[in-house]
C-alpha cells in the first residue's frame, strides 16, 4: 500500500512541468445581479518578488495593479475554482459562460487557459447573460505582451524544484 501511494505521489509530482509559467485570463463574477469587485487591495499581490520567505513556496495565481478582472497564472493546473477560493467566494455558481459559450458549472473545475474569458454567475439573475458576458474584460493579451500593467511579481522561465512541483500537484 505504501509503495502504491508513494508511486502515485511521484508520478503526479513529475507530471507538473519543471518550468514556471506566467499568463493571464479575464473574469467577472455576477452574484444576484451585482458585479463583485475584486480591485480592492485585499485581493492584490503587493510584495516584491525579491522577498522570498520560503524558496519552496510557489505563488500559483494572483491579481495585480488594482485590476480585479485579470488573473495572473503562475503554475500549471490552476482552475477557476482555485481562483474563486483565492477570492474567498464560497457560494456555488449557477451558470458560466466561458469564451462566449454558455456552459454548466463543471467548467469551473477546468484549468484556466491563457487569455480565457469567463462570466461566473452566482444565484439568480434577471439580466441577459450574453449581454453581461460583454462586460468581461479582455486585456489578458495586453498583459501577456507586457504592454499593460506594472506587475510587482511575475512568472519566469526559472525551474521549479521537486518540492514546489509536489505542492502544485497536490494543491498544498
Q: Does 10 lie in the same domain as 79? A: no
* Structural domain total, the chain: 2
Phi-psi region of 44 (alpha: psi -120 to 50; beta: other; left: phi over 0): beta
The separation between CA 105 and the C-alpha centre of its own chain, rounded to angstroms, equals 16
Beta bridge partners of 34: 31
Q: Does 95 lie in the same domain as 15? A: no
For residue 166, report the phi and psi dihedrals to the nearest 5 degrees. -60, -45
Q: Does 83 lie in the same domain as 4? A: no
What is d(CA 22, CA 154) in angstroms, rounded to the nearest whole number?
Answer: 7
Q: Does 68 lie in the same domain as 32? A: yes
Q: Each residue of 132-161: pLDDT tens digit? A: 999 999 999 988 887 665 554 444 445 666
Domain that includes residue 15, residue range: 1-19+159-172
Question: Cell triple for residue 172?
Answer: 498544498
Q: Each residue of 39-92: pLDDT tens digit? A: 999 888 766 544 444 555 557 888 988 899 999 998 888 999 999 999 999 888
Q: Does 95 lie in the same domain as 111? A: yes
Residue 171 pLDDT level (bands cut at 50, 70, 90): low
pLDDT of residue 7: 75
Q: Does 44 lie in the same domain as 126? A: yes
Q: Does 54 lie in the same domain as 11? A: no
Q: Each residue of 95-108: pLDDT tens digit? A: 999 999 999 889 99
Residue 81, classified by CB atoms within 10 Å of its CB into exposed (0-12), middle (13-18) or buried (19+), is: middle
Q: Does 82 lie in the same domain as 101? A: yes
Q: Does 56 lie in the same domain as 94? A: yes
Residue written as grid cell 485579470: 70
Q: Does 133 lie in the same domain as 48? A: yes
pLDDT of residue 19: 63
Residue 69's closest CA among 102, 95, 93, 43?
43
Q: Does 77 lie in the same domain as 13? A: no
Q: Does 30 lie in the same domain as 4? A: no
- pTM for this model (two decimals): 0.76
pLDDT of residue 163: 67
pLDDT of residue 67: 92
pLDDT of residue 54: 52
Amino acid at each position: 500500500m505504501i509503495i502504491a501511494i508513494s508511486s502515485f505521489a511521484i508520478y503526479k509530482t513529475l507530471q507538473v512541468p519543471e518550468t514556471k509559467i506566467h499568463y493571464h485570463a479575464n473574469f467577472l463574477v455576477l452574484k444576484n445581479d451585482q458585479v463583485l469587485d475584486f480591485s480592492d487591495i485585499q485581493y492584490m499581490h503587493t510584495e516584491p518578488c525579491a522577498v522570498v520567505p520560503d524558496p519552496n513556496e510557489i505563488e500559483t495565481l494572483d491579481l495585480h495593479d488594482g485590476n480585479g478582472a485579470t488573473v495572473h497564472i503562475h503554475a500549471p493546473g490552476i482552475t477557476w475554482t482555485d481562483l474563486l477560493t483565492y477570492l474567498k467566494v464560497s457560494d456555488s455558481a449557477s451558470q458560466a459562460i466561458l469564451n462566449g459559450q454558455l456552459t454548466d458549472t463543471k467548467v469551473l473545475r477546468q484549468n484556466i487557459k491563457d487569455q480565457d474569458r469567463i462570466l461566473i454567475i452566482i444565484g439568480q439573475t434577471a439580466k441577459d447573460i450574453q449581454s453581461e458576458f460583454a462586460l468581461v474584460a479582455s486585456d489578458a493579451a495586453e498583459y501577456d505582451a507586457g504592454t499593460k500593467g506594472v506587475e510587482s511579481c511575475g512568472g519566469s522561465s526559472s525551474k521549479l524544484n521537486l518540492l514546489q512541483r509536489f505542492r502544485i500537484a497536490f494543491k498544498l
